[in-house]
Amino acid sequence: MTTSDSVSDAGTGVEPKVEAAESEIRIGVFPCKCGKNIGAVVDIDTVAEYAKTLPGVVHVQVNTYTCADPGQKEIQEAIREHNLNRIIVASCSPTMHEDTFRKTVKGAGLNPYLCIMANIREHVSWVHQQDPEGATTKAKELVAMAVAKATSLVPQPELDVPVTPSALVVGAGVAGMQASLDLADMGYKVYLIEKEPTIGGIMAILDKVFPQNDCSICILGPKMVDVIQHPNIKVISMAEVDEVSGYVGNFSVRVRQRARYVDPDACTACAECIEVCPVDIPSRVDQNLTWKKAIYIPFPQAVPSSYVIDPEACLGMDLLRCGKCYEKCEQHAVIPEDEDKIIEFEVGVIIIATGFEPADPKKIPRLGWGRYPNVITSLEFERLINAAGPTEGKLVRPSDITKPKSVAIVQCVGSRDIHTRMGCSNFCCAESVKCALLIKEHYPETEVVIYYQDLRMHGKYFEDQYHKAREEGIKFIRGRVGEIQEYPHTKNLRISVEDTTHNELLLVDFDMVILSMGAEGVAGNVPLPISVTQDKFYIESHPKLRPVDTSSAGVFICGGAESPKDIRDSVIQASAAAGRASIILQRGRYPIEALSARIQQDICSRCGTCVKRCPYGAIIQDGTGRYTVMGALCQACGTCAGDCPKDAIVMPNFTNEQIFAQIETALKENPEEKIVAFACAFCSYRGSDLAGVSRMQYPTNARVIRAMCSGRYSVKFAQRAFELGAGSVLYSGCHLPADCHFQTGNHWMAKREPRIRNWMKRKGINDERFRIEWVSAGEGKKWQQIMTDMSEIAMKHADEIRKKRTAKSKGKTKGGKQAKSKRSPKTQGTKKGKKKTTKTKRKKED
């Protein structure tokens, strides 16, 4: 493997040097019988004989099982013996064995990207079982297309970049803390960034935590201390990420840390300062239920264990305006001249653990929060029932500081509602049951009713909790609360709810109502190009198989930032993210996609279109105005190349030249009968393979051209195919909106449709001859249907052409004069006329 230490070689886009293509092309073709799988339908010997006649082919060797050990050895021997420099294996789908054969040729000293495949099994023998002749012809042409492509293949470098053995973790809730501890324990340096003055996230201000209802800070506090004391973790609190540049293995991070005005190393948290501070401001940690001073500590167990000054509230740290804390502090910890700091460092991987925020009750006015003091949120309840909270753990009504005798808990607030957030917030059912149990535990005589829509107690131990709640006499009524009204004098509340089990309206009075708030996403508040859902949670690379990876290599997500979840799931995900990240850190080097895009600087007009197309932010403009591709970020989808107006972008192994060569070869014989079908490697090509695996039969006239992503299909491909007389052309991709393996390639492809159709209109090409179809890897049946339909379209077109031809030749045989007069009849005349008018129209448009 060629490796390169120099980052500029591979990472920043300076084109890596590629060995010059050898002057003489020596192609070896290896048609495979695949036992009877191919051999029983396709006449392999005929294919082999035909291959020998193709330009550049110097060696052809038929094998019964090419993928078996002896078959692979034969390829390697042939490479050495015949000095082959391009290899074509005509056998099964490249999805199946491209990797295998690339390794084979590599073993013989050839660059692996000089080996390609012709799919004569899934695309031929398995789907044309009843038509051996047609199948053999198709196999021959597929081999010819591969040979045409192989002629212009060039070796691709296999590069990798060095990885900085450190990590950035953004957000120090329980998820960020866990991920940091895991990576730090493995020996990697971790920078943990938290925007608040303390780490801990939401969990740090909860009272008890379900499902066992153990004390939250008692289990989290020690972990917070572990984090701050870990020699490998640098906690940067009151800080946010300003900028991230670079790519996997080599991110440069700039963090802005706000001034704390108290030296955390000097402050002993003695609390002398708050005795003298004259300013009271609402306490955010206590949900504004009480006051704190302008110099404060969020809560006693805060980490770092240091006070902080709120500069907005502070009267002035100088002695003239106030400066009382400054004077009082014996540790001289107050620093009036403190300033925001910029901290810069390099990391190899990034984990985003920015959590979520409790939903905003102000958005649901019918429930009265903010207007009626005794309607509180679940987080406010957590503070009220917390021994360290504003009431030292006494549950009281905010309106009159009396103990409520009856409490209603209202579920699904801010969740499962199109107007706020469609999704279920996952933790609030268990949260409600926890609140109810806590009330019963403190005040058994209190009446507690939970109004729920669906009680989702799905987690481990959750059902026990539910069971306990029923035993405690907590009432559960199915129905979502419609509205809450207040009795103006007593400040008691009346809720209106339908008991949907009994089809009965209930108007019930309570002393207090707790709104079980869902989650609101905050994703997107870190400057990284990771896509987010509509409700602002990060989108994972694959919802099932890569749940903590993102589309950006080296960037991972966990905890509430990914979706609303409880503590246990957040911690599980955090460890998973740390594990995934450590794979990159531990290897020390990161391989670069060998087929990444390259921009030909002499052709590029610097329009910047490609930057907008790239889903990975892989294309950047450097200081001199040049656009370059960062090899380590590029995933080789080719969406940029699909829309580059200058064709300045080279997609190795899928270059314009190669694709045009495939189109031209496919259309050499009877073009009007052919379907030129473009299929993307991840969905539609696999769908076509599935049709093969399932032996779904269809006509033999399709010639499939594979690309990594449908984003690669430029307008020109269809145009070239039609210019060469193709019967029909198919652009197929992964389903809209979200199935594209490369995120947005299919969207950009779909956007090209009008341009293609307008062009077709101008050229008088029947609209039905071009199709865009979305085919998933599971839709073999759909592929079969499309092939059958498009074949009919092509055949219809071929018929028309034939009719025209015979009409013409008839005219010819009847003699020149008649032929001339033949051309004058109305139909032809009008056609010509029409064409002219369209031409002149176009000119006018221009």
Partner 1 sequence: MERTTDADRINEIQHSAQPCFQCGICAASCPIFRVAPDFNPRMAVDEVLRTGTVAMTGREWFCAYCLMCEERCPMEVALSEILIDIKNLSANDGKVPPSIIEMMDVIRFTGKVSHASKRTEKKRRELGLPELPKPDVDEVQTIFEMTGALDRLMRFREAEVEPE
x/- string (CB under 6 A) for ligand FAD, residues 300-339?
----------------------------------------
Distance of CA 262 to the CA centre of its chain: 41
Q: Under the criterion CB under 6 A, does residue 240 sit at the interface with ligand FAD? A: yes
Which position among 627, 698, 774, 783 is part of the footprint of ligand SF4 (CB under 6 A)?
627
Question: Rounded to the nearest 10 degrees, how much is the dihedral formed by the CA atoms of 631, 158, 142, 782?
Answer: -50
Using CB under 6 A as the binding rule, the residues of this chain from 361 to 380 that contact ligand FAD are 378-379
Q: Per CB under 8 A, which of residues 426..455 are in contact with partner 1?
A: 453
Q: Binding of ligand FAD at residue 193 (CB under 6 A)?
A: yes
From candidates 71, 112, 559, 687, binder to ligand FAD by CB under 6 A: 559
**Residue 419 in the binding site for partner 1 (CB under 8 A):** yes
Binding residue (CB under 6 A) for ligand FAD from 234, 394, 480, 568:
568
Show Cβ contacts of residue 785 under 8 Å, excluding neighbours closer than 6 positions.
Answer: none
**Are 433 and 469 within 8 A, CB to CB?**
yes
| Cα 590 to Cα 92: distance, rounded to the nearest angstrom | 31
Contact 561, 603 (CB under 8 A): no
- Please identify, using beta-carbon distances, which residue of 621 and 830 lies nearer to ligand SF4: 621
User: DSSP letter string over 436-496?
Assistant: HHHHHHH-TTSEEEEEESS----STTHHHHHHHHHHTT-EEEES-EEEEEE-TTT--EEEE
Contact segment (CB under 8 A) with partner 1 among 89-97, 174-182, 481-489, 731-739 equals 481-489
- Which range in 313-321, 434-442, 511-519, 605-613 contacts ligand SF4 by CB under 6 A? 605-613
User: In this structure, are residues 364 and 410 in contact, taking their beta carbons and an 8 Å threshold?
Assistant: no
Residue 424 CB, nearest distance to partner 1 (Å)? 11
- Find which of partner 1, ligand FAD, ligand SF4, none residue 559 binds, CB within 5 to 8 Å per kind: ligand FAD
Among 25, 92, 172, 709, the residue binding ligand FAD under the rule CB under 6 A is 172
Say which entry of ligand SF4, partner 1, ligand FAD, none residue 118 contacts (CB below 5 to 8 A, set by partner kind).
none
Residue type, 729: V
**Cβ(119)–Cβ(56) below 8 Å:** no
DSSP state of 123: I
How near is the Cβ of 3 to ligand FAD at its closest, in Å?
35
* 347-366 residues near partner 1, rule: CB under 8 A: 366
Q: In the complex, what is the shortest distance from the CB of residue 413 to partner 1, in angstroms, rounded to a whole number?
A: 11
* Binding residues among 178-237 for partner 1 as defined by CB under 8 A: none
CA–CA gap between residue 72 and residue 79 (Å, rounded): 11
Instruction: Quote helix, strand, coil % in the chain, to nearest 5.
Output: 35, 20, 45
Distance CA 793, CA 434 (A): 64
Does position 555 interact with ligand SF4 (CB under 6 A)? The reply is no
Closest by alpha carbon to 573, among 257, 241, 177? 177
Q: How many residues bind partner 1 (CB under 8 A)?
A: 22
Closest CB to ligand FAD among residues 193, 235: 193
Site for ligand SF4 in 634-673 (CB under 6 A): 634-640, 644-646, 648-649
The radius of gyration computed from the CA coordinates of the chain, to the nearest angstrom, equals: 35
| From ligand FAD, partner 1, ligand SF4, none, interface partner of 504 (C-beta below 5 to 8 A by class) | partner 1
With residue 555 as reference, give the H or E element that holds it: strand 555-557
**Contact at 8 Å (CB) between 116 and 151?**
no
What φ, ψ does residue 734 adopt, rounded to 5°?
A: -75, 155
703 contacts partner 1 (rule: CB under 8 A): no
Beta bridge partners of 260: none
Helix (H, G, I), strand (E, B) or coil at 798: helix
End-to-end CA distance of the chain: 53
573 binds ligand SF4 (CB under 6 A): no
Contacts of 732 (CB under 8 A, 6+ apart): 677, 678, 679, 680, 684, 687, 710, 772, 773, 774, 775, 786
Whole-number Cα distances in Å, 4 to 17, 108, 239, 633, 634: 11, 23, 35, 16, 17
* Residue in the structure block whose two tokens are 């239920």: 289
Among 562, 522, 532, 554, CA closest to 618: 554
Nearest approach, Cβ of 175 to ligand FAD (angstroms)? 3
Q: Which two tokens stand for residue 244?
A: 């991230």
Q: Which of 497, 517, 610, 636 binds partner 1 (CB under 8 A)?
A: 497
141 contributes a contact to ligand FAD by CB under 6 A = no
Q: According to CB under 6 A, which one of 34, 124, 127, 170 is a site residue for ligand FAD?
A: 170
Q: Which does 355 bind (CB under 5 to 8 A by kind): ligand FAD, partner 1, ligand SF4, none?
A: ligand FAD
Judged by CB under 6 A, which stretch of 42-50, 167-175, 498-506, 588-596 contacts ligand FAD?
A: 167-175
Is position 382 an interface residue for ligand FAD (rule: CB under 6 A)? yes
Which of the choices partner 1, ligand FAD, ligand SF4, none does residue 453 contact, using the CB cut-off of 5 to 8 A by kind? partner 1
Q: Is 619 in the site for ligand SF4 (CB under 6 A)?
A: yes
Q: How far is CA 495 from CA 406, 407, 410, 484, in A?
A: 12, 11, 10, 5
Q: Is 549 in the site for ligand FAD (CB under 6 A)?
A: no
Span near partner 1 by CB under 8 A; candidates 60-68, 195-203, 296-304, 497-505: 497-505
Q: How far apart are CA 352 and CA 356, in angstroms?
A: 12
Residue number, 447 or 499, with CB nearest to partner 1: 499
Q: Closest separation between CB of residue 67 and ligand FAD, Å?
A: 46
Q: Which does 240 bind (CB under 5 to 8 A by kind): partner 1, ligand SF4, ligand FAD, none?
A: ligand FAD
What is the spatial distance between Cα 37 and Cα 63, in angstroms, rounded to a whole number? 13
Q: Find which of partner 1, ligand FAD, ligand SF4, none residue 356 binds, CB within 5 to 8 Å per kind.
A: ligand FAD
Write out the two tokens for 645: 């107006």
**Does residue number 412 form part of the binding site for partner 1 (CB under 8 A)?**
yes
Residue 403 binds which entry of partner 1, ligand SF4, ligand FAD, none, with Cβ cut-offs from 5 to 8 Å by kind? Answer: none
> Considering the complex, what minimum distance in angstroms separates the CB of residue 684 from ligand SF4?
17
Structure tokens at 398: 């905010």
DSSP 193-241: E-SSSSS-TGGGG-SEETTTTEEHHHHHHHHHHHHHH-TTEEEE-SEEE
Near partner 1 by CB under 8 A: residue from 20, 401, 418, 545: 418
Alpha-carbon distance 331 to 294, whole Å? 18
Q: How far apart are CA 301 and CA 841, in angstroms?
A: 78
Handedness of CA 432, 438, 441, 446 (dihedral sign): negative
**Could you tell me which stretch among 76-84, 521-529, 735-743, 789-797 binds ligand FAD (CB under 6 A)?**
521-529
**286 binds ligand FAD, rule: CB under 6 A:** no
- Applying CB under 6 A, does 210 fall inside the site for ligand FAD? yes
Among partner 1, ligand SF4, ligand FAD, none, what does residue 498 contact (CB within 5–8 Å per kind)? partner 1
Question: Among 50, 101, 356, 466, which residue sits at the site for ligand FAD (rule: CB under 6 A)?
Answer: 356
Residue 617: CB minimum distance to ligand SF4, A:
8
Tell me which residues touch ligand FAD (CB under 6 A).
Answer: 170-176, 193-196, 201-203, 206, 209-210, 240, 353-356, 358, 378-379, 382, 427, 431, 434, 522, 525-526, 559-561, 565-568, 570
Tell me which residues touch ligand SF4 (CB under 6 A).
Answer: 596-597, 599, 604-610, 613-614, 616, 618-619, 627, 629, 634-640, 644-646, 648-649
Tell me which residues touch partner 1 (CB under 8 A).
Answer: 366, 412, 416-419, 453, 478-483, 496-500, 503-505, 507
